[in-house]
Amino acid sequence: MNSPMDEEVQALMEAAHDRAAKALGLTCTGPLAWGFLGVTLGRRAGDRWLRVSRTAKRNAGRKAKEGIVGASELVPDGVPRPHLYAVHDWADGEWAFESEVLDYLTQPIVSPDRADIDHDPGLPDEWWADLRQALALLAEAEGVKATVRDGWVERAFPQFLGIPAPARVERVTGHGDLHWGNLTAAPLCLLDWERWGRVPFGYDAGLLHTNSLLVPDVAARIRKEFAPTLDTPAGRIGELSALAEMLQAVARGWYPDLAPRLVARAEALTGVRPPAPVHSEVSA
């Protein structure tokens, strides 16, 4: 989604990708696809896709039932996502690397260069029905990781929304990073399963809605499609959790164009104007 500006990071990740391809017996061709700040790098290998990510060595090791491997084991087949064929992980110096071999998708990503949208992608009715079904199936799956933790909610609601944290957060299993950069156009496919787990009820739909606020017609479509979720007390908490997370990102310098819409939506839901953004390093 974003090519790294740091030449050292670029060289590091290109070498790691070459290493993974060699270890997995893949020949990669075509353009490099960079993830956020060069943390991930993907490239086509025939009808497969090789994705390599890096993290600090102290964080090495995949956790059972989490991430893309956990999703391949626990998420129902009816939830459309790339199939996982193989993994190859290693550590080198201060970094740990994880690589996965996935399906190469021919349908385009709705928003390949940003998480939000600034125009209507014109998705058909069948696409919206498939998304509703996918999230309903996913909600019933076993999930172990708490995405958007209760402790973060307790701090973030007063800090970024100006309201007390809810006494209780109802949770379901969800994708955890449902934005337009992680969805394909028809046929629907959900990408990037690193954050999936137990999310606040309504969080997935709420996060997609927050990333649609620059396009009122699409935002209205999401509110209509997911009204049975968002128009409930628990769903409102889920949407507010998504708004708080996005307002935290604003405080870190992201989404300047979206910021006024986020503030307006939060105020519409709570009757309280959110505080001016204050930089925070607290992770959800």
Mean pLDDT throughout 30-38?
90
Task: Count the Cβ atoms, other than its own, within 10 Å of residue 53.
Answer: 20
The residue whose two tokens read 């991930």 is 40
In sequence order, the 6+-apart residues with CB closer than 8 A to the CB of 77 are: none
- What gap in Å lies between CA 59 and CA 252, rounded to an integer? 23
Give the pLDDT band (50/70/90) at residue 3: low
- What gap in Å lies between CA 196 and CA 148, rounded to an integer? 10
Q: Is the pLDDT of residue 199 over 80?
A: yes
Q: Is the pLDDT of residue 2 over 80?
A: no
- What gap in Å lies between CA 171 and CA 198, rounded to an integer? 6
Q: Is the pLDDT of residue 1 over 50?
A: no
pLDDT digits (tens, 9 = 90+) for 139-163: 999 999 999 999 999 999 999 999 9
Task: Count the Cβ atoms, other than its own, within 10 Å of residue 74.
Answer: 16
Instruction: Please give the domain boundaries of the chain with CATH numbers for all domains.
Output: 7-103 (3.30.200.20), 125-269 (3.90.1200)
The whole-number pLDDT of residue 36 equals 82
The whole-number pLDDT of residue 161 equals 98
Q: Is the pLDDT of residue 222 over 70?
A: yes
Share of the chain above pLDDT 70, in %: 95
Which of 281 and 261 is assigned the larger pLDDT?
A: 261
Query: 7-11, 117-121, 198-202, 245-249 — which is least confidently predicted?
Result: 7-11
Q: Is the pLDDT of residue 279 over 90?
A: no
pLDDT digits (tens, 9 = 90+) for 203-220: 999 999 999 999 999 999
Give the pLDDT band (50/70/90) at residue 35: confident
The whole-number pLDDT of residue 136 equals 98
Mean pLDDT value across the chain: 95
pLDDT digits (tens, 9 = 90+) for 58-104: 999 999 999 999 999 999 999 999 999 999 999 999 999 999 999 99
In sequence order, the 6+-apart residues with CB closer than 8 A to the CB of 191 are: 81, 82, 109, 181, 182, 183, 184
